[in-house]
Amino acid sequence: MTHSDASDSELQLRPLYPRDIDVIEGWSEASITIPEAGSELLMTGTRSLVHHPLAAWWQRATMLALPNRPRWSGFVAALGDRLCGIVEVAPFNRTRSTWQVNRILVDPEGLPASTKGPLDTVGSQLLRHCFETIWEARMWLAEVDIEQKAALALYRQNGFQPLAQVTYWEISPDVLSEQASQEPDLPNLMAVSNADAQLLYQLDTAAMPPLVRQVFDQQIQDFKVEPVQAMANTARQWMHRENRIQGYVFEPQRKAAIGRFDLIACRGKHRYHAAELTVHPAYTWLYPELLSHMASLLQGYPAMPLRVTSRDFQPEREEFLLKIQATPVNRTLMLSRSVWHKVREAKPTALEGLQLPEVLAGLQPAGKPIPGRMTWRSDWDETLLKWSPAASPKPRGELSEGDKPPRRSQPDHLSGQSG
């Protein structure tokens, strides 16, 4: 790999090893992190960087038990024997056609003092190494805080484009108590299981724009949970003192799911509960009903605010959260990148350097045309004229066996002779 900067020419990129985790934990506070260390993006379970050496070994041990489970992956950048950067990526769906960039860390102390822009220098190399190495990824996702301008510039420089805006709303315990006092009207509320994957897939497809649906590229298997993975999730929730509750509203006439919720209720030293809402665009009246149901479920847990993740797909959801006096605590931008629109950058002058005579010369035939072996039989044409309706007084259907025209023999194209 050739780089223009002398400091980049010695940059070595390789996969993340378990022994590298101890080195990363020893980095000083001057290290650059995307998302930032205090960002709320790191609070979710899928975005936590591997922080213990046993976690990396656990990832390799579960490959045999859970072969289809999406797992994290990472690459590090080293300058000599010293690490100076890391990127954490993970597949977004089961088919592994879409991957997401979870976190990027750069240690400026591991780079020469003359290096300008450590984040652009190391971060860009790590991102492009992911694009070239993970060949099965057709789309890439990233979520960045709108206040982190350096991260936005890094992703935009590497081909990422805005896909959707994500807002994290916080509902206070007082509002939750008020919502719990209202009786929700949910007659067909059902628990989520693997048998409902088809219904949930259809609901998720109808609740997002076509562009987002194409980038996510989720299938029915993305809404199913393997038995071993379900047991692992249960054990993790028990250790973290969490309880995950999922449900959906079934429409019996259309045989479809019209709304669902995913609630994580916490009992330990957490700062808030977490939830996600998905409602069919034609049934937006379900927002207050589902929130009242979740508020009633949270009455048995410690009084903590509820954090709701909302994307800007439906304005009715934003209006409802504003109506109940929810507070937006964090706004992020979801970015996406396709691997196909970057093919031209590999050789920018490959097509522009072609001249018109060279293009026309390539369109000329390679050799002279070869004549075919089709033959024309004059006797067959004379027979058709002889037995035409104008020349024959007999009506069709009254021809005798001797009056019928002789059967034409097929020409022998292999030998060039006619039968």
Instruction: Give 252-308 pLDDT, tens digit per residue.
Output: 999 999 999 999 999 888 889 999 999 999 999 999 999 999 999 999 899 999 999
pLDDT(1) > 50: no
Question: Which candidate, 161, 93, 164, places its Cα nearest to that of 342?
Answer: 161
- Calculate the CA 224 to chain-centre distance: 17
**Ramachandran sector of residue 217 (left: φ over 0; alpha: ψ -120 to 50; beta: rest):** left
pLDDT(352) > 90: no
Write out the CATH class of domain 167-331: alpha beta
Tokens 């009254």 correspond to 398
Cβ atoms within 10 A of the Cβ of 366, count?
4
pLDDT value for 315: 86
pLDDT value for 19: 75
What are the C-alpha distances in Å from 151 to residues 21, 75, 142?
23, 18, 10
- Of the two residues 20 and 189, the one the predictor is more confident about is 189
pLDDT value for 233: 84
**What is the tens place of the pLDDT at every residue in 43-98?**
443 334 444 444 555 555 555 555 554 455 789 888 887 888 889 999 999 999 99
pLDDT(190) > 90: yes
- 307 contacts 276 by C-beta, under 8 angstroms: no
Question: Which candidate, 28, 18, 33, 22, places its Cα nearest to that of 122?
Answer: 33
* CATH number corresponding to 6-158: 3.40.630.30
Annotated domain spans of the chain: 6-158, 167-331
Same fold, 6-158 and 167-331: yes
